[in-house]
Amino acid sequence: MTASIVTTALVWSGVVILGGLGSVLRFTVDRAVGRRIARSFPFGTLTVNVSGAALLGFLGGLALSKGAALLAGTSFVGAYTTFSTWMLETQRLGEERQVRVAVANLIVSVMLGVAAALLGQQIAEHL
């Protein structure tokens, strides 16, 4: 086999493994938070997305190679965080006429996510 085929196979294997780990961790964290805080506000998804933003900011602040950043950021963090669930939960809150909670979910998620990403990046840059 040529070197590029082996490299491609290794990258795809990394995507599968890291993506799988990220999605299992997302499910675990979301359920654990949801069980502890049983409210209409989606605290599990918020926890996952804010912690994922912090991790991605941290990874962005490190001097990783392009391949390592792609695998860690796209595969693991991409599978761990969940934009689609955030949007679906927000839409369902609106359908249930919980408009204030839906708007709060949007605003709080964006504000905390951006702050977490900046904090993660600053931590990595000071290592």
Q: Which residue range forms the structural domain that includes residue 1? A: 1-126
**What pTM value is reported for the model?**
0.90
Question: Is the pLDDT reported for residue 7 higher than 80?
Answer: no
Q: Which pLDDT band holds residue 6 (cuts at 50, 70, 90)?
A: low
19 is known to lie in a ligand binding site = no
Question: Is the pLDDT reported for residue 31 higher than 90?
Answer: yes
Sequence-distant contacts of 74-79: CB under 8 A, at least 24 apart: 74/15, 75/14, 75/15, 75/18, 75/19, 75/22, 76/18, 76/19, 76/21, 76/22, 77/22, 77/52, 78/19, 78/22, 79/18, 79/19, 79/20, 79/21, 79/22, 79/23, 79/26
Question: Is the pLDDT reported for residue 103 higher than 90?
Answer: yes
Predicted confidence at residue 1, as pLDDT, reads 59
81 is known to lie in a ligand binding site = yes
Number of domains the chain contains: 1
pLDDT by residue (tens digit) across 44-87?
A: 999 999 999 999 999 999 989 888 888 899 999 999 999 999 99
